[in-house]
Amino acid sequence: MAVQKRFIAGAICPRCAAMDRIRAWEQNGVRYRDCVNCDFFEQLPIENDAQPELETRVNRDREEQRQQDFQPVRILDPKGR
């Protein structure tokens, strides 16, 4: 049975920095990733679902937005003291 390899939208290759060139698949309890643009290949055992999220333009922008939205709060005394 052939394993279906799926592209990860927005993923950036850690070796060649090409976007949308990473494929991922699972086989025999092992998670694989490779890049169709260069020779990057990685295999990770599937231990739990707490794997770090792959960096994409979506989650990178989300983190930048969170940092921009942060503003300190200043509590004012209504009596003017």
> Would you list the domain boundaries of the chain?
6-69
pLDDT in tens, 26-36: 988 899 999 99
Measured CA to CA in angstroms, residue 57 lies from 18, 19, 67, 68 at distances of 12, 9, 16, 16
Gap between the Cα atoms of 53 and 37, Å rounded: 21
pLDDT in tens, 18-77: 999 999 999 888 999 999 999 999 998 776 656 677 777 777 766 666 666 667 778 888
Topology of 6-69 in CATH?
Answer: N-terminal domain of TfIIb (2.20.25)
- To the question of pTM greater than 0.85 for the whole model, the response is no
Measured CA to CA in angstroms, residue 49 lies from 13, 19, 31, 45, 53 at distances of 21, 24, 12, 11, 10
